Each structure stands twice: as structure tokens, then as C-alpha cells.
Structure 1
Amino acid sequence: MKKVGSKKNNPFPLTIEELKKILNKQYAYSSDLSFTVYEHEEQKIAVFYIQFSVDEMKLENYLLETLLNTEEQLTNQLALKRVPLSDGGEYNNFESILDYLIQGHVFVYFETENSVLGYSIPNKIIRNLETTETESLVLGPKVAFTESLSTNINIIRYGLKSKDLVMEKHIIGRRDPREVRLIYVRSIANDTDINTFRQRIKALEVDFIDDTSVLTQYLEDNSTTVFPQFLITELPDRLIYNLSRGKIGVLSENSPNAIIAPSTFFSFFESTEDIYMRWNSASFIRILRFISFFISTLLTPLYVAAVTFHYEIVPTPVLITLGESRAAVPFPPIFEALFLELMIELLREAGARLPTKVGQTIGIVGGVVIGTAAVEAGITSNVLVIIVALSALASFTTPNYIMGTTARVIRFPMIIFAGLLGLIGIVFCTSILLIHLIKLTSLGRPYFSPVYPFRWKDFNKSLFRSKPDMQQKRFISYRPKDKYRFKKIKKGLKKDIDE
């Protein structure tokens, strides 16, 4: 049994009428407050709660039926023993009572008692487990998180059966209190990272937290950068994998996503499929993702720089083709490239916001029709259409949607500097980006690790995958308590069965 409040600030005992008057004053603009008075054994009992936020079947079958069928006069202690609900407690602080009311608590007050009884029986709206929407997979578990925190916690505990698994409970939000769970494996995660994350959550004072993606914007080290510093995932399997590597996770009530930290720049190019594939195939695909990121950000700017300033770097046969394709185009390459890139972004956003079937049609037909019409009208060259399409296609290979969006944002200043300064502008932008990435941190850890600070032993866990028997160590840049995942066993000599 829990007790909330103190004797010093206790306004009880009150009459039923006084209690009702106080509650009606607090909820003067809401008609959802249910306040019912029952007569039982010459005793008045008040039951109050917020309608639609409690499970009324449990309220009728377990609470009211037990109280009203008791043949003796009730007290708080007697009711706590008789009512078959585990989460019951005494409350004598009105601020706590009002907070718990909106969280799905039912309160019972026996007139002349020094406190009210409260039971948590929320009416939870739970969505069935479904496959992922934003993180498509071919191999591995495909179940996704839901908006129910209890369901998400059960999924994590089912997938990670460890006695060291810790789920710290925190409440965020002054006007809309929301439960948040800080999750880590106690014997692996670094204490400094845990304390840093816990301190940031406790120091956060906001009215509302709509989703974990909003929460990350308050907790990240640098809120002005375009690069995400915390990884957001809807895959329980990915969260479990990172917890076993020494990272920390955060789950929030009413959010189907989890936060993973600390994260590096290279974490956003990893996929859980890499675990289930053979190490050499997974390494090839991961390297392909990095190459695609650079193609997405640099290919169009390189075209603009070459056509505007640096004809000498283009082979002669290709230069003749470029000249023929641009002969009827009246605009400079920078405006031509910005026009096509903006058109691609408009088509992408239109396809994402429209219903699925209509969005796919708009994306395919719109791209083909508008691209062909632009070339025939002489607004752009056919070579640039191919280059922009290839850049857009390369951005889709990034497993993380936010990092893919980051590549799209970076591309526009790159094009502008390439059109103004040529290759010097591209080198300048790239240098600024590298300096920025080196300075960034995620939960106080270097964001560009293992490239800076350079740690060769971590390359096989970020840029590529080595053989499973060579991955006995965890990512040392996060400084986990237990550095070893397993101990390497020496293989014995192979012998024939007959020997």
C-alpha cells in the first residue's frame, strides 16, 4: 500500500459536499468528472473519477461490488483488504489526487476518514502488434513497438531475459504527465552515460511531450545541428541488440518509437538485417550505404561544378554529350540543378502525404511525366535528370529516415557553393561538415567515432562487419563495464571419426 501526502498538508476529513465542491471548482470547464455518492450501512461513500479514462468493467465488478456488498461499516484499511485490486493506496494531497485522476485512477472517500483511497484501473487503448512501417526488413523479427508502454516493456522483457535489465520510471510533463522508462543493462552500460541521461530527463521541465522524437530534441547535446545525435527506432529487436552492446534506451508512453543513445554517425547506417546476414554480405551492403550517402550529397554538386567551371575534368566524349544535352537549356547549371532537386523533393513529399496507392502513382507518374516534359521544353538537360534521379535513389538506401533527410538538406547548400565557387566550394562545404561532425557529441561521447578519435578496433562494428568469432569485444568508444561479449575458444585439430 502506498501513501501520498503528509499530515501537515492534509485537508481531510471533509464532508462529501465539501469534497464535491472542491472537485467541481477544479473541473469547472469539464463535464467528464463523475462524482457518485452511495449510502451503505448508514455511511456515505463518494466515488469519483474521469469518465472514459477508467476501465468501467473493473470498476463495477471489482471495486463497487466488493464495497457495496460488505455488511459492515467500511474504513480505508478494511477496504484495502477486501477490494481485489493490487494497486491501491491512500492519498491526502489534492495536487496528487488531481494528477492521478487524469491518469485513470478511481478514488473512494469514506466520510470522516483522513484520506481517500485510490486505485489505478486505466482504460488502456492498445493497438495489436504489427510489422514495421518505416524500417523495412527482409530478415529477422519484424514486430514493431506500439503506443502502449506496458506492451513495449513486455516485448523488451520477452526478448532480453536478463536479471540485470533495468527500467527506471520517470514522469515528464507538467500539464500532461507522461511516463518514461530509462532502460539499460546494469552490468554492461557505462555509469557516466546512465547518470548523464538520467540527469537530463530529470532536469527537463516542459508542459507536453508528444513523442520520443520530440523528446530527443530536448535531450540531444546540440539542438541546432541537422544531424541526429540519438537513434530512433520502432524495432524492439534493434533496441535489444543495442542494449546488449552497452547502449541506453528510452521508451515513452503513447509513442511507438524508442530512443537509443549514445549513437555515432555510423550507427545510422546500420540495420538489424546486418546481424542476420553473413558477415561478408553484410559488410558489402553497409559499405554500399556509405557510398550511397556520398553519392546523394556530392553527385549533383560535382555536376554543377564541372559544367560551370571545370570542363577539363570531364572526358571529351562525355563533354560532347553534355554539350549537346545543354545546347537548348537557357539557364545556368546551378538554377537547372536547384529546379530539378526542388521538383524531386515536392514529388517525394506529395507521395508521402497522400494515401499509399495514390502516393505511389504520383511519385512514379509525376517523376516520369514532369522529367520528360522538362527535357523536351528545354528547361533542363537529360543528363542532369539522370544524375538527380540517381542522387534521390541513393538517399533511399539509408536505413534511417532522419539521416536520409539530412543528406537531402545538405545537398542544397552544396549545390549553391558548387555553382558559385566550383570544386573549391565543394571542398569548403565538405571541410565544414567534417569539422562539425568531429565537434559533435552524443551523450558526451564522440559522434564521429571510431574515425575521430581513431580506434581501429571499432571499425569492424561500424564501417563493416568482421567474422563472428572476431567480434568478441564490444564497442570500446562507449566504455562499457564488460568489454567482452564472449571469450574466444581455440578450435582443436580436426580428426577423423575412426581415430
Structure 2
Amino acid sequence: MGFSDGGMSNNNEVKSTQNDKVLITIAAIKKELAGINDAVFKDIQTSDELVTIIYFSSLIEKLTLHRTVISPLLDEKEDLLKSADVPEKVSLSGILSSITEGKTIVYFHEKNLFITVHTYSPPMSSIIGTDTESSVIGPQDAFTESLQTNLSLIKRRLQNTGLKSEDYTIGTETNTKISVVYMDHIVNKENLNKVLKKLAKIKHPGFNDITVLKQLMDDNPLSPFPQYLSTVRPDAAVTYLLDGRVAILMNNSQAVLICPISFFELFTSPEDYYNRWTTASLLRALRFFGFFLTIILTPTYISVLSHHPEMLPFNVLLNLQESRGKVPFPPVLEVLFMELVIEILREAGTRMPTKIGQTIGIVGGIVIGTAAVEASLVSNILIVLVAISALLSFLSPNFVMSNASRSVRYLFIVAAGMFGLYGQMIAFAWLFHHLLTLTSLGTPFMTPVIPRKWSDYLNSVLRVPTLYRRQKAGISRAQSTKSPPVEKKE
């Protein structure tokens, strides 16, 4: 679509071309933008005719709009026509593409003339990086507490009218504004309807963060595992939207809720797709198996020493018995004591100011660990195992998943103390049964294990090269329809 920057005589020629060939109406544009709540249609009566301006409020600052469009329309309309882009050929797809790019469309009813004004001015000053989902490779921006800013971060990456955003108000006292975002031609309508039904049933006085909403939407609120993904990274949210998922944004909350989600996707990081597939596969497998190692490492120590010492070679058993020769407690109490100390150090370091918290975490761990061994309260081997287990629990990119692994570990510790390896197997049976029966938005949480979709294995524990990863995830059950056509600019 070509543009001309000529004067009024040039604009008159363009006007006649548009009058002869354009059959586009405001109603047709409204129909295409239906379901996008930040799409604004404003009628302005000038001195000689009616003018309609169309734009996305999340991509344009009000001051910029007033200075570049509204004020010139009311005062110096000729200057606006000279500075604006006037398309020689107008098409509906071209107009929609300009709107999604953050431009303002100005339609003169009497002249039947469409012009485009560059007004793209999303809020940028408050957009910074994130410490909770940091990465070395890829975009470094993160969502903020502003709903409009978060919408603009998504729309900057997805310039497509198929991206729909519907606003709702929840919270009987706080009247918190949320926005349900999805790709209309990709999302599974059944998943979308489930989300809307869950939101309609929620009766809660107030929401300070979207994590409260996530707990109210869980299929199984008693489960320690997160059934929806929360992310503060716009690139991650866009990736899931393109896969057919539904995103929920909340005002005054930095995180964005993604649903449905699978168990394996809780171990993936957006950085995996920017890294080489070999490195990404190695790191992803490390996170996945690290989850199981962190819940069995210290329980296995209890099982072997308390119930099955014959499983270890004699020299190893001799070293273990020597290290805990003066420890007066049984292995299960010894492990529980050290696990609780680690939790106390972690919680204290989190609540304190940053510099003091880092000092407490490092110095406190060294001092307390050394003192506990010298006082014969715990063995030195257990100190190593607890430290490794604590590090493994933080491998998951999802912080809630890290908390879940620590909670499950205590169940394994108690089972190992009571029945040894048999107790651990019973705990494992419960864990797998729970994960296999858990659902996320009504779909199996353990996809691709159930239901089986072979293409999902290419992006589960391991990641194949991007060239071969073309199909969408089975849990999203995305539509197979094509994207709305967008006219290519010349």
C-alpha cells in the first residue's frame, strides 16, 4: 500500500480515487474489531463535516493523540492533511493493519477520505527487566502493574486483528479490571468458554494480585502443584497465545495468567527457544530430573541408614556411620532439623533487605552448618545432601513449582522414616496418581503422556530444532483455521 505526502491538490486526487473504489464503512471496521475493548471509535464534529478517528487506546498516549490528531482537526485541518499519510488505494486489511501497529485512522465522512496518522506512543518509561524470570538471551522487558502497559507489550509483538482482548470487572469490593486475551482464529472455543464461566462464578471481595485469582480458578484447589502458568515475560505470553492458549491480565498485577498448561511446560523457559536446541535440551532435562532428585535425595539417606543399610557398599556405610557416630538423633529427625533450618534461612533472607538477606543466606548457612556438625547435631554428609537438594529445588523456572517440590519432599521424608524405600515407593505411587488425575482447565495435566500426541514429545523434556517444531501443543487443542489476511506493504 503506497503513501503520498503531497499538498491539498495531491490529496484531492487521492480523494477522488478513494471515492471511486472504496466501499469500506465504519460498520465494517467495527465488525472486524469486535471483541477488542481498547479499540476506540470517536466522532468529532469539525467546522464543516463529521470526522471519525479509530485507534487502540493501549498503544497511544492521550496527550500524543490530542496533539497530533484532535487539536489539528479542530484548528488547522489543512496541516493535518499535509502531514498525514494518504493511501492511494484503501483496503480493509490495510486499515486494520495500521490500527494494530498503533496508528490512528481518520475518516472524513463528507469526502469519504481515509488518512493515517502516526501516533504510536505506548508507555515505555516504567518497563524494566525482571529478577524472577531473568535470562541472558532474548528480550529483557517485563510486564508491569499497569493493565494498559501490559496490553501494549503484547500488541507490540502481535500486530494482528485476530488478537482479541475482552475486559471484565471482578471483586465485589475492589472492582478489579481484568482482560482476557486470545487469538480468535487459533484458540479453542471450549477452553475460552471454560475460562469465562470460571470467571463468572467467582465471588470474591478483592484481588490484590492475579495469584489470588489463579487459586480460585484451580481445578483442584487442594493440590500443591500450580495448574495455571503465571509469567512476567511478554515474549512467553505471546508464545503461548500463538499456541492457542488463553491469557488473563489484571490491573495492578505484574504477572499474566496462562491456561491451560501441562506439567512438562512448568520446566520450560522462554530462553530455551533462543538458545541452541542441544543446550536447551540439556538444561530442560536437568530441570525435569532435578525435580525428582530434590524430593528423593534426603529421603533416600533416611531409608538407607534406618531400614536398608545392606544396600550400600561396606566402605560407604562405614563412612556414613562414622560421620554420624556422635549424632544423638535418628536420621529422620536429623534430616527434618536441617530442612527446617534451610527453610528458615531462605525465608529470613527473602524478608530482609537485599544486601542483608544475601549476607544472612551465605554466612548463616556456613556458620550454622559448621556449628551443627561440630556440635554433633547432624552429620557432614547430610549437610552436603541438604545443600544439593535445596539447589535442585530452584532449577525450575516457575517459582510456585519450586515451592511444590519442597512441600512434596516433606511427605517423602516422613514416608521414608516410617517404611524406608517401601514408603518412598508408596509416596511415588501417590505422586504419579495425583499428577495423572490432575487437570488444567479440564484437560489432562500430564500431556503429552495422556492423551498421547506424538508431536508433543518433540517439545517436552527435550527440545528439537525449531525447524521440526511446527505443530501446536496438544493441550491447547488449537483451531486449524488460517490467520486473518494482512495486506503486504510495498
TM-score scaled to structure 1, two decimals? 0.71
Identify the residue that residue 230 of structure 2 maps to in structure 1: 232
What is the correspondence of 1:67-86 to structure 2 with a 5 Å cutoff? none
2:190 aligns with 192
Separation in 2 of the partners of 1:238 and 1:342?
A: 34
Superposed, 1:126-137 pairs within 5 Å as: 128-137=126-135
Q: CA deviation at 1:332?
A: 0.3
Contact 1:127–1:148 under 8 Å retained in 2 = no
Report the 3-state secondary structure (helix = DSSP H, G, I; strand = E; otherwise coil) of the residue aligned with 1:168.
Answer: strand
Larger Rg: 1
Following superposition, the deviation at residue 225 of structure 1 comes to 0.7
Match of 1:353 in 2: 351
Q: Does 1:374 align with 2:372?
A: yes
Aligned residue number for residue 279 of structure 1: 277
Counterpart secondary structure, 2:318: helix
SS class of match (1:232): strand
Secondary structure, aligned partner of 1:192: helix
Matches within 5 A, 1:17-416: 128-416=126-414
Distance change >3 Å, CA 276–CA 126, structure 1 → 2: closer
* Aligned-pair CA distance for 1:215: 0.5
Q: Which secondary structure does the structure 2 equivalent of 1:474 belong to? A: coil
Identity of aligned residues (%): 42
Could you say what secondary structure the match of 2:173 adopts?
Answer: coil
| CA deviation vs aligned residue, 1:364-387 (integer Å, no higher than 9, x gap) | 000000000000000000000100
Pair 1:479–1:357, CA change in 2 (3 A): same
For 1:255 and 1:142, locate their aligned partners in 2 and report how far apart those are by CA, in whole Å.
19
Offset, 1:133: 2.1
CA displacement at 1:478 relative to structure 2: 2.3
Q: Return the alpha-carbon distance in structure 2 between the equivalents of residues 334 and 484 of structure 1.
A: 58
Displacement after TM superposition at 1:159 (Å): 1.2
- Counterpart AA for 1:211: D
Structure 1 position 127, deviation (Å): 7.2
- The count of residues paired between Structure 1 and Structure 2 equals 366
Cα distance in 1, alignment partners of residues 475 and 245 from structure 2: 11
Give distance in 1, aligned partners of 2:125 and 2:374. Answer: 50
C-alpha separation in 2, matches of 1:397 and 1:205: 36
State TM-score, norm by structure 2: 0.72
CA contact 1:297–1:411 (8 Å) conserved in 2: yes
TM-superposed deviation, 1:467 = 1.6
- Corresponding letter in the other structure for 2:367: V
Relative to 1, partners in 2 of residues 1:161 and 1:303: Cα closer, same or farther, differing over 3 Å? Answer: same
Deviation at 1:162, TM superposition (A): 1.5
Partner of 1:89: none
CA drift of 1:453 comes to 2.8
Q: Give a deviation string over 1:309-360, Cα, whole Å, max 9, x none.
A: 1112112221111011011111100000000000000000011111111000
| Secondary structure of 1:267 counterpart | helix
Unaligned runs of 5+ in 1: 1-56, 63-124, 486-499
Structure 2 SS opposite 1:221: coil
**C-alpha deviation, 1:484, in angstroms:** 9.6
Equivalent in the alignment of 2:471 = 473
- For structure 2, the residue ranges without an aligned partner over 5 or more in a row are 1-61, 68-122, 484-490
Which one-letter code corresponds to 2:473 in the other structure? F
Hey, what's the Cα distance between the residues in 2 that align with 1:126 and 1:351? 32
Aligned counterpart, 2:486: none
**For 1:176, what is the secondary structure of its paired residue?**
coil
CA–CA separation in structure 2 for the residues paired with 1:148 and 1:348: 30
Q: Distance in 1 between matches of 2:160 and 2:415?
A: 52
Contact 2:224 / 2:404 at 8 angstroms: preserved in 1? yes
Does the residue aligned with 2:139 lie in a helix, a strand or coil? coil
* CA–CA distance in structure 1, aligned partners of residues 141 and 304 of structure 2: 47
CA distance in 1, matches of 2:124, 2:168: 21
Check whether the contact 1:473–1:483 (CA below 8 A) recurs between aligned residues. no
